[in-house]
Amino acid sequence: MRSHKVIEVRNLTSSTYIIKMEKNEFSFKTGQYITLGFSSSIDRREYSIYSSENSNFLEVLIKEVDNGLVSKKLRRCKVGDYLDVDGPFGHFSLEESEIKKKKFLFIATGTGISPIHSFVETHPGMDYQVLHGVRLQEEAYEKESYGNGKYILCTSGEKTGDFHGRVTEYLIKNPIPSDTICYLCGNCHMIYEAYDILEKQGISLGPVHTEVYF
């Protein structure tokens, strides 16, 4: 367990925010997650790392949920506060041998975009497309982070995105080339449905990587 000083809190929407902390020699592999909480509390929550492997700071993207004990507490943190970080954990990572050779499709719902942001920030030169499903356009968290034309926003609650509907509906209407490496991160319903769609489109199970956000 390490203690990290908060250096910035960025509010993205009324319920979603980014906590930026000192890195303190912390190292991780892009796609991994940490557990986070106040040093004075026993309550911890798992969050995927949002920042690049190469950054000199550590960031997490957090959505405050109605019954969320930790997300509500962390929303009140201020610059100068200390948070306990444990980890890194997880194996939702890129294959080094594929990064410069393959085409990637990253599919996310909501804050499931977090590890994908880390992938892209760490390896900006790779050939990728991001498919992000949210309800409202305001939930296109820092979409300017992605290359021009590389981010497709699917909005189910309003007709403001690049596609009106869910990411699974987009996949059905826009089949994916069979040699694409796919990473799925978000709610389990999306992942199960998208997995079936991709399999029917000829993408073998090996190149599909998943991380479930409940």
More confident residue, 152 or 70: 152
Last residue of a domain, one of 40, 60, 89: 89
Local confidence band at 206 (pLDDT 50, 70, 90 cut-offs): low
Domain ranges, residue 134: 103-212
- Residues 101-121, mean pLDDT to the nearest whole number: 95
Read off the pTM: 0.93
- Residue 6 · residue 39 · CB < 8 Å: no
**pLDDT tens digit string along 99-108?**
899 999 999 9
For 97, other C-beta atoms within 10 Å of its C-beta total: 8
Does a structural domain hold residue 95? Answer: no
Asked whether residue 98 is assigned to any structural domain, the reply reads no
Q: Indicate which CATH number applies to the domain containing 117.
A: 3.40.50.80
**Predicted confidence (pLDDT) per residue in 14-64, tens digit:** 999 999 999 999 999 999 999 999 887 788 999 999 999 999 999 999 999
| Domain-located, residue 143 | yes
